[in-house]
Amino acid sequence: MLSSSSIRLLAILATTIVIAGCSNSSEPTPPAPLITTPKVGSTYTIDSYEKDSLGRMVPGSFQTTIRTITSTNATVEGKSNVVQYTDGDETTSLHFETNGDVAFFQPATSSGDQMPAGLPVEIPDFTIPARWVTFGYGSKAPMTIPSFDTTLMIDAGVFPLPVNLTATGTTSYIGTENLTTTSGVVATQKGLLSVTVNFSSLIASGSFKTVDTIWFAPNLGMFVKDDGSTTATLPDAFGGNQNLGGTFNVLTSYSLAQ
């Protein structure tokens, strides 16, 4: 991800006046949605690349992909009317809350062989449970990501070594910003995602922290920009504090189905 910027529309409360005979009565209409749900078939062209420790593009990592809306009424892990889009062979699920917040579904992830380089020992395979991660674009409120805590027994050569892994994270609202694409200027909202993974054992402890700035366009119903990086805090024997690089992606054009 994640691979995604500025202003969200305010809801307008309207009143419909119904005239019946000589008396007047009024009923408030539902508030206008804060986010426009894109129609199936809408497409978004995304440029992306990997970043090195200095924030530069890693040679050969640039690619262009197209996100395509495939459903707007899916049911996923307790939420209905879920918007889904494909990007290559991956399907991503979003849920637009009534207050303008955006929930992103993170499927269960097997991460044993995907841990960042630099750990003092090889970590066996384990699974992070599926969860919804909410960004407070509408409420402007900070959110806590469901935490993860497990102890793994690894083969240290002489004896089994317990390694405790914990993951915590938050999302927060930053502000608004316009994004210029070849299809026009897009009003977006910025949010910050911060996740820290701590590990500890008898021989070493440390942490990895990933920080992503993520832009969402409420008029498009899509994440449109993502700029993230990961840093490591490790013992000197394992490289010490270091920037491990990151990823960047940005919307360049879009076509909304009618």
The DSSP secondary structure of 199-253, one letter per residue, reads EE-SS-EEEEEEEEEEEEETTTTEEEEEEEEEEEE--GGGT-SEEEEEEEEEEEE
Structure tokens at 182: 């070849």
Whether pLDDT at 113 is above 90: no
pTM of the predicted protein model: 0.82
Whether pLDDT at 158 is above 50: yes
Query: Higher-confidence residue: 68 or 111?
Result: 68
Rounded-to-integer distance, Cα 5 and Cα 188, Å: 3
From start to end of the chain, where are the E strands?
15-20, 23-28, 43-51, 63-76, 79-87, 90-96, 102-106, 109-110, 127-128, 131-135, 143-155, 160-181, 184-200, 205-217, 222-233, 242-255
pLDDT of residue 123: 60
- Average pLDDT score over residue span 249-255: 98
**pLDDT tens, 13-62?**
222 212 223 334 455 655 667 999 999 999 999 999 999 999 999 999 99
Rounded-to-integer distance, Cα 28 and Cα 26, Å: 7
pLDDT of residue 142: 96
pLDDT of residue 154: 77
- Average pLDDT score over residue span 113-134: 67
Q: 3-state class of 50 per DSSP?
A: strand
Residue 215 confidence class, pLDDT cut points 50, 70, 90? very high
- Average pLDDT score over residue span 195-223: 92
